[in-house]
Amino acid sequence: MSDTTILLRAAHFAARRHRDQKRKGSTAEPYINHPIAVAELIASIGRVTDSLTLAAALLHDTVEDTDATLDDIGREFGPDVRAIVAELTDDKSLPSEERKRLQVVNAPNASRRAKIVKLADKSVNVADIARDPPPNWPVARRRAYVEWAILVVAGCRGTNAALEKHFDGLAAMALATIRG
């Protein structure tokens, strides 16, 4: 499968799976905009051209947030993309606080590709919380999310300096915006 084909297939797969979902912000934008933004950030700021990493970025929430399975990902995109998506998928049977704790604990041991996706994912989420937070999230919850994202990203350091610097700027801006 060519690089272009895998990326277009991943975008199509993610769009189909996320078709009825919206982001939590007040604008309720289509959810698919999130994985596209993550992949675009990896390519533009991170200068990553690896199609497997970019495909995993497009697919990173499909198993966690839709009826897609890791077996579906493996069948469609092969074992490498499946492995990256598996590293990025939280176990939804666990309580939220445990899932968050595990992200912090597991980040340092993730593959380079998974760390790159995680850096971009946290960057997009932090930017969204500053720009268009979920209307029902009080200031304390928004601040807690950004502070937690900083801990997750700490475990991804040394992977992509440009993405790390970008995240740092977004996190600082978000905390300043949240604190008013």
Question: Which of these is catalytic: 50, 65, 80, 90?
Answer: 65
Q: Which amino acid is at 74?
A: G
Are the CB atoms for 54 and 7 separated by under 8 Å? yes
**Known catalytic residue at 72:** no
Question: Which of these is catalytic: 29, 40, 50, 64?
Answer: 64
Question: Rounded to whole angstroms, how far apart are CA atoms 79 and 75?
Answer: 8
Question: Rounded to whole angstroms, how far apart are CA atoms 53 and 178?
Answer: 32
**Known catalytic residue at 40:** no
How many Cα atoms within 13 Å fall on the side-chain side of residue 180? 3
3-state secondary structure 9-55: HHHHHHHHHCCCCECCCCCCCECCHHHHHHHHHHHHCCCCCCHHHHH
Residues annotated as part of the active site: 64-65
